[in-house]
Amino acid sequence: MPISLEKIGFKTLKLKIMGPLIPNDIIPFEWNSIIAIVIGIFFGFILEASGFSSSRKLAGVFYGYDFAVLKVFFTAAIVSLIGLLYMDYLGYVDMSRLYVHPTYLWGAIIGGAVMGIGFVTGGFCPGTSLCAVAIGKIDAIVNVIGIMIGIFIFSELFTFFEPIYNGYFQGNITLMDSLDVNPYWFVFILTVVAILMFAASDLIRKRVKKVFY
Amino acid sequence: MKDTKEQNRHIYWNPYFGGFLLGILIIITFYITGRGLGASGAMKSSVVTIVDDVSHEHAEQSAYYSKFVSDDKSPMNNWIVFETLGVLIGAFISGGLAGRIGWRVQHSPKITRRRRLIFALIGGVLFGVGAQIARGCTSGAALSGMAVLSTGGFITMLAIFGTGYLFAYFFRKNWI
C-alpha cells in the first residue's frame, strides 16, 4: 500500500498562485491604476481593430449585412467563460471571489431594453463610442455627450427611477442559482448555440443586400 | 464599387480573432483584478465630477450623486476612469496603425449629416439612462456579467439585443 506523504506528517507544498491577484494581495493595490490603463489599452485596441469604431458596422448586426458584433461578442463571452471555468477547476482562480454583476430583475430588463433602443438609434454603445471618439468620429463625440446627458437625466430624476433601480433585487446570483444548471453543461450548450448562430448569420448575410460603408 | 467591397472585407480583424483576444483579455482582467471590463462607469464619474464642481451642495443632497461623492477622494480617481483612458489610447494606436484617424461624421449616403448627429445624440441619451437603470452597459453588465455566468448579465444582454432587433425596423432608413 502506498504511503501518502500527508499521512506521515508532511504537508503537500502548494505553489499555485491563486487569483484574483489584487483582491488576494498578491499584487499590491497601488498597481491598480497602472494595470487599469494597460488593460484599457488592450481593450480599446481590440475593439477598434475589430471595427467597433464604425457605427455602420455595429448596426449591421440588426439588419443582417454585418454580423461582426454578434461574432466578436459571443466568441469573447464563450472564450472567457471556458477559460475562467478551467482556471477555477485547475485551482488558478477562485471563481467565488470574482465580482458577479448583481441581478435586479426589472432593472436589467428595462435598462437593457432602453439600451437596445439607444443602440439601434445611435449605432454605438459606450465602449465602442469611446473607441470612435479616439479616432475622431464626430458622431461618436455627440453620442458620448448624449450618454452623459442621459446619466445626468437619470441622476436628476433618480427618485422616479429608484423603484426599478433598487427593486426586485435577487443578489449577486449566477445562472447556477437561478436555473439550477451545471455550469459545464451550460457552457457546452451555449457554445453549440453560438456556433449555430454564427453559421446562420453567414447564411443570412449572403441573402441580404450588401451595404458598403 | 469593387474597391469598397475589397475594403469592407479586409480592413478589420477577423471577428473570431478579435473575439478570442477579447475573451483572453476578460480572463486576464478577472484574474488580476477580480472584476470585469467596463465603459459607462467613466462617463458616470465625469458627470458626477461636473455636477459636484458646479454645485457641491446639489451633489451632496442628491440621493444618486451622493453615492459617488466623498470628501477625501475625487470621483475621477477610480479604476474604470483609468481603464477608459487606456481605451482611448488603445483605440487611437489601432486607428493610427490602420490609417483610420480623421475628423468625420460617418453616415449612410441616404441621410444627412445633421440627421445622423441628431440620432447619435438621442441614442446616447437613451444609452446613458439605460446603463444607469441596469447598472452597467454592454461591456460592464452584459459581457463581463456573462463571463461569470451572472443572471443579470445574461438578462441585460438578451434585453439589449432583443429590443435592438424589435426596434431595428423603425430606424432602418438611417442604416440601410
Residues 100..139 of A with a Cβ closer than 8 Å to B: which? 100-105, 107-127, 129-139
Nearest CA in chain A to B95: A135
pLDDT of A3 above 90: no
pLDDT, averaged across chain B: 91
Nearest CA in chain A to B147: A81
Instruction: Output the CA torsion B27→B32→B38→B42 (10° steps).
Output: -160
pLDDT of B138 above 80: yes
Q: Give first-to-last CA distance, chain A, whole Å.
A: 72
Nearest CA in chain B to A85: B148
Task: Please name the amino acid found at residue B118.
Answer: I
Please report which confidence band the pLDDT of residue A5 belongs to, taking 50, 70 and 90 as the band edges.
Answer: low
Interface A-B: count of C-beta contacts within 8 A: 535
What is the least distance, in Å, from the CA of B70 to any CA of chain A?
17
pLDDT recorded at residue B1: 43
Q: Is the peptide bond before A2 cis (omega within 30 degrees of 0)?
A: no
Mutation to test the A interface, candidates B35, B138, B157, B169, most A Cβ within 10 Å = B138
Residue A135 burial (CB count, 10 A): 23
pLDDT of B9 above 50: no
- What percent of chain B shows pLDDT beyond 90? 84
Q: E strands along A6-158, which residues? A: none
The ipTM is 0.93
What is the least distance, in Å, from the CA of B94 to any CA of chain A?
5
pLDDT recorded at residue B2: 45
Read off the pLDDT of residues A131-171 as tens digits, 9 standing for 90 and up: 999 999 999 999 999 999 999 999 999 999 999 999 999 99
Read off the pLDDT of residues A32-91 as tens digits, 9 standing for 90 and up: 999 999 999 999 999 999 999 999 999 999 999 999 999 999 999 999 999 999 999 999
Stretch (H or E) spanning B154:
helix B151-168
CB–CB contact B37 A39 (8 Å): yes
Residue A126 burial (CB count, 10 A): 30
Whole-structure pTM value:
0.92
Q: Does A166 touch chain B (CB under 8 A)?
A: no
What is the least distance, in Å, from the CA of B71 to any CA of chain A?
20
**B106 chain-A contacts, CB cut-off 8 A:** 54-56, 137, 139, 213
Read off the pLDDT of residues B71-108 as tens digits, 9 standing for 90 and up: 778 889 889 999 999 999 999 999 999 989 999 999 99
Task: Indicate the residue of B82, B135, B147 with minimum beta-carbon distance to A107.
Answer: B135
pLDDT of B66 above 50: yes
Nearest CA in chain B to A43: B87
What is the least distance, in Å, from the CA of A28 to any CA of chain B?
11
**B164 chain-A contacts, CB cut-off 8 A:** 61-62, 116-117, 119-120
Task: Indicate the residue of B62, B100, B145 with minimum beta-carbon distance to A135.
Answer: B100
Residue B63 burial (CB count, 10 A): 11
Joined together, the cell numbers standing for residue A18 give 491563486
**Residues in CB range of B7: below 8 A, 6 or more apart:** none
Please, are residues B23 and A79 in contact by the beta-carbon 8 Å criterion?
A: yes
pLDDT recorded at residue B69: 87
CB–CB contact A125 B39 (8 Å): yes
pLDDT of B29 above 90: yes
C-alpha distances (whole Å) from B21 to each of A79, A160, B52 are 9, 40, 38
Residues 27..86 of A with a Cβ closer than 8 Å to B: which? 27, 32-51, 53-57, 59-63, 65, 67-68, 71-81, 83-84
Q: Does A150 touch chain B (CB under 8 A)?
A: yes
**A33 chain-B contacts, CB cut-off 8 A:** 79, 82
